[in-house]
Structure 1
Amino acid sequence: MRKKPLIGITGYHVPGEEGVGGTFRGVKGQGFSVIGHDYIQAVKQVGAIPIGIPVGDRSTCSEILQAIDGLILAGGEDIDPQLYGSSPDLRCWTITPERDYFELALIEEALRLHKPILAICRGMQLLNVCFGGTLYVDISDHGEHVLAHQFSRAPRWYLGHRVKLLTPSLKKLYQANEIRTNSYHHQAVNQLGAGLEAAAVADDGIIEALIHPNHPNLLAVQWHPEMMAVKHEEGLIPFRWLIDQVNGGGSP
């Protein structure tokens, strides 16, 4: 009997000094590593086993990647603008440098070991930074006619805007030239990292997906397919792609 793939999922890093309250339970000074249930359910639905990866020592990344079959870089906090030669400003939300550096090490090790990577929202942005690219500290820097990309007052599965698919591989994956997606970000890819290609864009030109010709088992999307999957079957497409890669499938 073939074993189910083990899929590692990164998550929020909540230091103890952030305090107690809100949706978190615990005692004063206690921190949390938090994996969204939507990621967990999506991985289960495609026949794999989800494994949470808390922020830890970068020296452990090799052992972690050797133990899992695929990696999901999940959404979450802002990426520190200093990592791509910019500076934080008042438009920045929460920044967690510990998570940034740990996940950058995870990406580098996953690439070295040729482990499949699905990068989502923040994960896509960090992937771009890892390849030497830059981000908009806030998408308002993209220009005057930028769309709304943060539908925080709508259900998490709400399909807020159109995304045009640019590459033959992504069109084949979705069996479409254009899709509608949810959206929960205020930072976005600016200059592409070395070798990365824009695989999808929104109507305002914001990059919505990335691929890399030299890394065919890498796919990055700016939307949140795990949230879409709550109501829309096509939300599972990137997760099925990930399992196909684990099982020796082709490019995205």
Structure 2
Amino acid sequence: MNTTCKNCNTSFTGNYCPECGQTADTHKLNHHFVWHDIQHGLFHYDKGIVHAAKELYTRPGHFIREYIEGKRVKHFKPISLLLILASISGFLAYKYQIKLLNLDTSTDISNGLLTIEELNHWVTTHYAWIILFTVPIRAFTTYIIFRKQGYNYYEHIVLAAYLASQRLLLSIAVFPIDYWLKDTALLPIFLQYNSLIEICLSIWGHTQFFNRLPKGKVIALSILSWVFFLAIMTLCLLLILNILNYKI
């Protein structure tokens, strides 16, 4: 039996339109459709965030390498995943007044264009874009350090995006602790330990991703790439604060 595609009007047989790929079975929009869409988006095995989270915390490097090699049906797209998780993390920080910038409130900002509070507010409201901005820089550092492994710069962007998502998943998971410590002197200490754990997770991902190299060498190169990245980000931060006229 022929079906007329409701998207492009092509007549076809089968489950999917050969021209545009739309499914032949288009249900009326109702509560069943909405619930199925929620389940598919969050929990469906081949595209869900839950599946991506599981893979990033059990076999991150292998998961990322499979995507780069073309096995993409079971993978949530890296940039989409990153933006969703960054938006959730930024919303939580904004909603519950968690300071994402670890700047001393006693800093001399008399000549600054913004106060520390205003700067923190700006960071939390633009957090997804800030995280997205760091991905090309992180990719550049691993591309330079691991340049002999045959991956191009854009493949390193995929690597950086997935590993940034891994770190965001951790940040979201420990958010209750951030909230509990937010008005105490322990929060900066906790954030430092959390950052160290995030770096260790990233190094673990690198050891799986660059599996043709000895693990010891990958660990050393990964640490070097982190030093390179932190140096670039420090320079960027100093430049921004200089533009805003902050005195640190």
Tell me which protein shows more strand as a share of its residues: 1
* TM-score, length of structure 1 as denominator length: 0.23
Q: Which has the higher contact order (CA 8 A, sep 6+)?
A: 2
Radius of gyration: which is bigger? Answer: 2
Tell me which protein shows more helix as a share of its residues: 2
* TM-score, length of structure 2 as denominator length: 0.24
